[in-house]
Amino acid sequence: MKIFATYNIKGGVGKTATAVNLSYLAAMEGYRVLLWDLDPQAAASYLFRIKPRVKGGGKALIQGRRPVDDAIKGTDFDGLDLLPADFTYRNLDLMLDSAKQPARRLAGLLAPLKKEYDLVVLDCPPSISLLSESVLHAADLLLVPLIPTTLSVRTLDQLTDFVSGFNGHKPAVLAFFSMIDRRKRLHIQIAADLPAERSDFATAVIPAVSVIEQMSVHRAPVTAFAPRTMAARQYRELWHEARDRAGLTTG
């Protein structure tokens, strides 16, 4: 079982859009996939038509008083299950803080699922905190969407510094450009230079297009309802790069 996390300290950069599409694409290739919506805003749960609420409360689940298995829901897609968000996740840091070994909590909760899933995707809320440490411990691969600005490059440097200085398990990082606007000269320039300079950059580039926004209307991944679009093609490319980096064997 491999664990991916979509991660960025910023919100609104395409973390959920990526988690949703990559989970769907993995399931379509025959992998058994669990998407865990860790954001109290519950966008991933909404997109898969699952009510955000964990039976017995998110707190009991995080603190290990309730098995993760109990809260898992099936989606409309074969091979793709979802662990819904819970509004109590707004206090996830406090919940982790009161758990034993908070930094290892997520990894510990997911360990019993090893036989059931080939891939777990963690859709993270925007934050850098105890949860981040727990995510870093658990994840094999961090997928980091970046909007191409000079500041985003700094964000990535800060993240890679944080990961390499991290005392414990270190995930691999795969950054990629998200919401790239081809009409903006700066976007094009940054997107052209950076991937060539760094090995932690994907060649896939996710365009800023309305068909991705329409996911919330269709309540489905764009790779499912508009598979022939450029956006879907780029998500497929990103999935293949992520799959190969993580060394996922065929599902």
Interface with ligand ADP by CB under 6 A: which residues?
A: 11-17, 43, 178-179, 206, 208-209, 212-213, 215-216
Question: Hey, which bits of 85-167 come out as E strands?
Answer: 119-123, 141-146
List strands edge to edge, sheet with 119-123.
73-74, 80-83, 33-37, 119-123, 2-6, 141-146, 172-180, 201-207
Minimum CB–partner distance for residue 116 and ligand ADP (Å): 26
- Is residue 243 involved in binding Mg ion (CB under 5 A)? no
Beta carbon nearer to Mg ion, 43 or 226 = 43
Distance separating alpha carbons of residues 229 and 233, to the nearest angstrom: 6
Name the residue with the smallest CB distance to Mg ion.
16
Beta carbon nearer to ligand ADP, 72 or 122 = 122
Phi-psi region of 117 (alpha: psi -120 to 50; beta: other; left: phi over 0): beta
With CB cut-offs between 5 and 8 Å by kind, which of Mg ion, ligand ADP, none does residue 12 bind?
Answer: ligand ADP
- Is residue 132 involved in binding Mg ion (CB under 5 A)? no
CB-CB contact of 236 with 223 (8 Å): yes
Minimum CB–partner distance for residue 9 and ligand ADP (Å): 10
Q: Is 82 in a helix, a strand, or coil? A: strand
Beta carbon nearer to ligand ADP, 36 or 113 = 36
Beta carbon nearer to ligand ADP, 60 or 141 = 141
Alpha-carbon distances of 41 from 15, 46, 85, 89, 164, rounded to whole Å: 13, 9, 8, 9, 30
Number of other CB atoms surrounding residue 41 within 10 Å: 17
Minimum CB–partner distance for residue 233 and Mg ion (Å): 22
Beta carbon nearer to ligand ADP, 113 or 226 = 226
CB-CB contact of 49 with 219 (8 Å): yes
Minimum CB–partner distance for residue 86 and ligand ADP (Å): 17
Residues 4-43 that bind Mg ion (CB under 5 A): 15-16, 39, 43
Minimum CB–partner distance for residue 67 and ligand ADP (Å): 27
- 184 φ, ψ (degrees, to nearest 5): -100, 120
Q: Which residues bind Mg ion (CB under 5 A)?
A: 15-16, 39, 43
